[in-house]
Structure 1
Amino acid sequence: MRRSIADAIVLLKRAEKQLKTVSERYNSSLKSGLIDPELPGDTNDFLNSCRSALDYLAWDIFTEKCKPGLSEDRVKDLEHKVQFPSKPTRKSFNKAVKDTFPDLKKNSPDIVDVLRDAQCFSTPYNKTWIYALRNLNNGSKHRHLTVQSNQETLYAKDLHVKFGGTSIIMKDSTFVMPKGTVLFDLGGSQITSEDLDNHPAVINMEINLSNDIVFVDIRRPVLSTLEEIYEGSSNVTKRLIPLLS
């Protein structure tokens, strides 16, 4: 087994262990209401492992399937550009494959199919696992650790608030907001989700309240997003290894 493939496998095994650690810190953070100070760093390590595993595979694709037919100058020009593709459209993906992996579509269309499937074109780009990985890892690596914050989701099936001559009725409404956000400001009397149970202005209430920790940059929950990234990275690796062996 070539070194790049072996390294990708090792990195994914490491990512699996890192995800378990992140999950433990995530759950303890939800219970305490405070984000574990180790959580951002552990998350960053996990993202680096997944991203690096995919980039190792991209490098193997380039060196084994594309490099042999290229001139030395062309190889030098492309080597620093090789990375696992993450593109929002089929057009931009096809261009990236053509520009960075010359003749791959002609010589190894099955590999291109795997790379294309990883883009999840049937899903809006900013909702895909590959977008989340690229976005979060870039932010962590080049600027700072991804900012995370407590978030709560409030679903109001039936909520009636009345103060003075003002009456507010909400039905089948969903709010996603930072924990502690003021829902109503009634003449200087502020109501957050924690106040709903006992505040005299609340006339009727049928709600469901859940807490989460989110990536602020992409407005997605931490744990489920990382699980999607791990599953996506693992599936790509399992499909590519037989094609590269």
Structure 2
Amino acid sequence: MTTQDYRFMLESAKEHLDERLTNKIRYLLNDIESALDYIAFAIFNQFCLKHITDSNKIKSAQKRVNFPLFDDKAYFDKKADKIFLDLRSEQPDIIVTGVDYWLPIFNMLVNNNKHRELEKQQRNKTTHIHHGQIGGVTFSNVKFVNCTTPISYNGTAIDFESPSPYDSNFLASTKIEFVFKDLNLSVIPTLKDIYTRTNKVISDLERIILN
């Protein structure tokens, strides 16, 4: 996600992210999931494959391998133990490394993504008038939250996004933020956190399996 992407998001549609940026988010989630699945497959081949004594079952076992994405530790452990045979007894650090708070969030986003419906986003707008005066009314340290048009004067909307002839009357700032509606989490910080955490998990797992 670049600065240009972020600016484009802020200038996009009033209710939801522009489709082009939504596609970028989908691709990012797909790439992250693929990276996690890749390290999971490497772990399986290195530590678990030897425990399959029937050679006819190797391919089917490998097809079931992916990084466990579940909402809580119990489900994570259940799937990990089912797919990664004897891994907990031989390499317990690997199982522990895989569990983290961001997994349920990522799991929800990925599941919606697979159904071609990215988690719905909501556009939040906060306008902070530090100081201003118009029509004999003085504003000081006033905030408007999710108000499309904070002020209207002489039939002119003053929304502090599009230019108006009265902008010079105010010292004001506007913050636009998109959030994943059901998760109530800001889009950009959430994606950055998932990306950062994924990199850490993969690095930690690589360090273990390469020792």
TM-score normalised over the length of structure 1: 0.61
Q: Is the 8 A contact 1:151 1:214 kept in 2?
A: yes
Between the aligned partners of 1:52 and 1:85, the Cα distance in structure 2 is: 12
Q: Is the 8 A contact 1:40 1:146 kept in 2?
A: no
Which of 207, 212, 235 is the aligned partner of 2:200? Answer: 235
List alignment gaps of at least 5 residues for structure 1. Answer: 1-18, 121-127, 156-173, 180-192, 200-207
1:61-210 to 2 correspondence within 5 Å? 61-72=43-54, 73-116=56-99, 119-120=100-101, 128=102, 130-152=103-125, 193-197=147-151, 210=175
Q: Is the 8 A contact 2:70 2:107 kept in 1?
A: no
| Residue of structure 2 in register with 1:41 after alignment | 23
| Residue of structure 2 in register with 1:167 after alignment | none
Between the aligned partners of 1:213 and 1:31, the Cα distance in structure 2 is: 11
List alignment gaps of at least 5 residues for structure 2. Answer: 129-143, 154-172
Between the aligned partners of 1:77 and 1:153, the Cα distance in structure 2 is: 53
Between the aligned partners of 1:65 and 1:153, the Cα distance in structure 2 is: 52
Q: Is the 8 A contact 1:40 1:148 kept in 2?
A: no
The CA RMSD over aligned residues, in Å, is: 3.0
TM-score normalised over the length of structure 2: 0.69
Query: CA 1:105–1:36 in 2, change beyond 3 Å: closer, same or farther?
Result: same
Aligned residue pairs, count:
175
| Residue of structure 2 in register with 1:219 after alignment | 184
After superposition, what is the alpha-carbon deviation per residue over 1:145-197, rounded to whole angstroms, capped at 9, x for unaligned?
44434233689xxxxxxxxxxxxxxxxxx97xxx5xxxxxxxxxxxxx24444
Identity of matched residues, %: 27
